[in-house]
Amino acid sequence: MKPSFKVGILGATGAVGQKFVELLDGHPWFTITALAASERSAGKPYREAARWIGARPIPDAIADMAVVEATPDLDCDFVFSGLDASVAGSLERQFAEAGYPVISNARNYRMDETVPLLIPEVNPDHTALIERQQWPQGGFIVTNPNCSTVGLVCALRPLHDAFGVAQVQVTTLQALSGAGYPGVASLDALGNVVPYIGGEEDKLATEPRKLLGTLSDGRVVPSDIVVSAQCTRVPVLEGHLECVSVQFEQPATPAQVREVLTSFRSPIAALNLPTAPERFLQVFDEPDFPQPRRHSELGGGMTVAVGRIRPCEVLDVKFVVLSHNTIRGAAGGAILNAELLVQQGYLTQRDAATVATV
């Protein structure tokens, strides 16, 4: 028996929405049955409503599907949300109230104490927070972190387990696709670096504390890691690179850091989830790796790359981490979240039983 779910995409026409469409094409468990966006797009076929930016064409089954307004009457078992944050708060709440599980990329509910902020390889047990949500008819909200938080925390998880992470200095070099479409004006982006991304540094300071927190009596006790972040936008299409320095609670050498990152075993490895990469972390020894253009797509964009592990003259150890912002940092991360929720029994069909594998 394999699971079979009908899924809707809120914000289906945006940069993240398009990644959902791309990644769900041929997914073994999830079939897109609803594409929703603003009233500007509603009523149009998807190929007209979306300014498609994918490298491959729009999947045939989706191109002529009509986009509908994001109202909670969609024919689906749950929704993925790639909604703009200005509308995600109220629309996601409406869907949860109407009994839909909402697997969101937006920032609005990330720090709500009853909402899991989830990376399956980092904190799979935090899904227990769902039980504290009070929506009627089985609705709930699960979020994934900001795209720059994701790479950082994936690298910190094994290190925190092994040595205790006390303080982190991180400077990000973030890709243009992280700003959606059309995103940053070309005259600001080309041949330039913009040393400011609104709200981003605050997310990097707060979200890791929740992600690396421990679950106790159904609540997350945040970790007391201190993160100092500087965020920049660089003229790269996909892949957020981050330069990280870490101070540990227990002494750790670069060689020990490398060993811990290399030998980390993902806690969800045995579940064989369709979107989980074979390698969660890939450590490079080449002095000039990882690079966004060469390594963002590792593991289908779900592998997080680490390199340049060396002593830090100010804190203890420094390194570089790279993650694909619209796959691992957005749509791919959300799909993996949904797969974990299926395996844990939180996601169930609204009106049908599982279908037999042919």
Ligand X SMILES: NC(=O)c1ccc[n+]([C@@H]2O[C@H](COP(=O)([O-])OP(=O)(O)OC[C@H]3O[C@@H](n4cnc5c(N)ncnc54)[C@H](OP(=O)(O)O)[C@@H]3O)[C@@H](O)[C@H]2O)c1
Residues that bind ligand X (CB under 6 A): 11-17, 37-38, 40-41, 70, 82-85, 87-88, 105-107, 147, 177-178, 180-181, 325-326, 329-330
Query: Which residue in the list 160, 240, 295, 324 is annotated as catalytic?
Result: 240
Distances (CA, A) of 199 to 52, 147, 273: 27, 12, 32
Q: Residues 342, 324: contact at Cβ < 8 Å?
A: no
Nearer to ligand X by Cβ, of 147 and 260: the residue is 147
CB of 48 to ligand X, least distance (A): 11
147 given a catalytic annotation: yes
CB of 228 to ligand X, least distance (A): 22
Burial 240-270 (b: 16+ CB within 10 A, else e): bbbebbbbbeeebebebbbebbeebebebee
Closest CA to 257 of 157, 127, 116: 157
The residue with its CB nearest to ligand X is 14
231 given a catalytic annotation: no
Nearer to ligand X by Cβ, of 83 and 244: the residue is 83
Phi/psi for 310 (5° steps) reads -160, 170
Q: Residues 41, 62: contact at Cβ < 8 Å?
A: no
Residue 218 is encoded by which pair of tokens? 């159904």
Q: Residues 295, 239: contact at Cβ < 8 Å?
A: yes
Residue 86 is encoded by which pair of tokens? 């200005």
Collapsing DSSP states into helix, strand and coil, what is residue 285?
Answer: coil
Nearer to ligand X by Cβ, of 3 and 151: the residue is 151
CB of 38 to ligand X, least distance (A): 3
Pairing label, strands 140-143, 165-174: unpaired
CB of 130 to ligand X, least distance (A): 21
Query: Which residue in the list 147, 154, 231, 324 is annotated as catalytic?
Result: 147
Nearer to ligand X by Cβ, of 265 and 293: the residue is 293
CB of 34 to ligand X, least distance (A): 13
Nearer to ligand X by Cβ, of 90 and 253: the residue is 90
Active site residues: 147, 240
